[in-house]
Structure 1
């Protein structure tokens, strides 16, 4: 066996690589393709398109869809679930930036 890396190795490790078809993504999440289309219409996730025009999802997008399904399964309307997830994402980014700025100030 050679120590050379496969040209696909980077893609397989990339959370943003659109590796999953809509059917496979729905199966993995235990949901329907219609649910994934609804999340796309709400602009929570925007799947990339294959050369044939088929939706393709990344692992990152599947994690977001799984969070949306969790909220919807708990009784939250889809639109509200999408807003909650967007706000959670904004909060996480704000906390990350705050921590980065605090570390920068401490190092000055």
Structure 2
């Protein structure tokens, strides 16, 4: 789980480069995937997403950093995708339009 201020406040990005070779990721590869990608936002309304239940004995200081609700999608079952991160616009996340999740290939600078 990552919680961070995004570089682009209109997009949430989950780092997800794959490397199944023990070497640096091949940025041009199409790779087999088996990921659950979950997103959350502090700006979601109270009836948004699937609620998350945590153990009662969890430290309150840790609990303060965890989401109360998430949405997500599973990528797998023999599926292959271009290697890269998963990203979605904040608006699409808030409306629950998970078909708008993208996995763009990284760019080289």
Larger CA Rg, structure 1 vs 2: 1
Q: TM-score when scaled to structure 2?
A: 0.21
TM norm structure 1: 0.22
More helix by share: 1
